[in-house]
Structure 1
């Protein structure tokens, strides 16, 4: 049974990977970037940062920024096994667990990963509520002294799945828009009130960016400063070539 589940996860992950590569390649991507230096595919990028975006738009960064030295935090729940395998094929490293529950050992593992990798978190995952930012990413940014980089994603009239996050499935050949915000610096060693204050602020910023990206995608209007977003790995990978299937980091946060 264990081997069967393992193969189911691998095949399911491969199917998700194929979907993301083929389906998402049909979209028209445009972006507004507050600071281009926060793009991990930019020549001037300086790691490490914590990227945050809503769970319903996971395929977009998967497709646009493969092999960019990003470790994505994914649940240890079985539902995330397929996603973890797909992320591996896309060149993402994965950290299995949740920032809702943690400990010194888990933070040490994340701290070690952040020395050479960026972190990516969907702060309303893995179970919601939808578009409500859990405090874990704020706590992590405070402890690791890393900036949060929020970005919103929007599709033109996507299909919505009957899931807790109303997962967005873009229509083929439709518009996809990305709006990135400024770095959010979280002071170290915040108390509970401080964490909540920054949590509310980050949630507000991320929702505003998401609303702006969605409205832009639907309108189809041209925006001053917009750039076409291409699928790109990090510069060093572009120069040297890359292999699919980067290893995963598996840590326990319980």
Structure 2
């Protein structure tokens, strides 16, 4: 007899496991982390931009080295419900939606949370389904409407398991590894109306900034 188990009931265990896993990783920062902390202290709106495949490492880095006082986008799928519960147990606020479903509503809700609760936003700019390392327009819209600077972040675990069959080549850092974190310069988005042409230009600018971060051999 097959006994169904609601996966959302596992979220407390998964959150604890994640904390323990991240606690074993030694993060080494390259770039001006103090810029983020100073802007955070001065209540400047910020959007932390990352690639989907580096989400595990960068969520852990943010949790241990920056703040969990953030708002994060999570898809409206069943898997997304589990992820949302884990993130909320880490201190995140979550909004449900993506570029494929409920995106505009989620963006507007995130802006309200950023303003009302003074939270940074975390945005996987090529998610939820890719193409890999191609920035989408939502992050530009969010930053402009919230008056926020975008901070590009990259993660390079020394030892990792890469899931090559996933569209994002998801990188799972192994326990007790070192992980190099690269912090980019704050990017102020245009104040121009976001026409198709303007949006494409800003997306390309962000992509270039993110791909320029990290050791040359790993840029791709």
- 1:53 aligned partner: 50
Segments of structure 2 that go 5 or more residues without pairing to the other structure are none
CA deviation digits over 1:95-133, x for unaligned, max 9?
110246644x55542321121211101011111122211
> What is the TM-score normalised by the length of structure 1?
0.73
CA distance in 1, matches of 2:176, 2:217: 16
- 1:9 aligned partner: 8
SS in 1 for 2:126: coil
Segments of structure 1 that go 5 or more residues without pairing to the other structure are 217-254
The structural deviation recorded for 1:58 is 1.7
Contact 1:99 1:137 in 2 (8 A): no
Higher relative contact order (CA 8 A, sep 6+): 1
Higher share in strand:
2
Are the structure 2 counterparts of residues 91 and 190 from structure 1 closer, same or farther at C-alpha, using a change threshold of 3 Å?
A: same
Are the structure 2 counterparts of residues 58 and 14 from structure 1 closer, same or farther at C-alpha, using a change threshold of 3 Å?
A: farther
Alignment RMSD: 2.5
Are the structure 2 counterparts of residues 53 and 64 from structure 1 closer, same or farther at C-alpha, using a change threshold of 3 Å?
A: same
- 1:232 aligned partner: none
Q: What number of residue pairs does the alignment pair up?
A: 208
CA distance in 2, matches of 1:34, 1:46: 17
Q: 1:195 aligns with which of 176, 196, 199?
A: 199
> What is the TM-score normalised by the length of structure 2?
0.83
SS in 1 for 2:212: helix
- Structure 1 runs (4+) deviating above 4 angstroms are 99-103, 213-216
CA distance in 2, matches of 1:74, 1:165: 16
The structural deviation recorded for 1:52 is 0.6
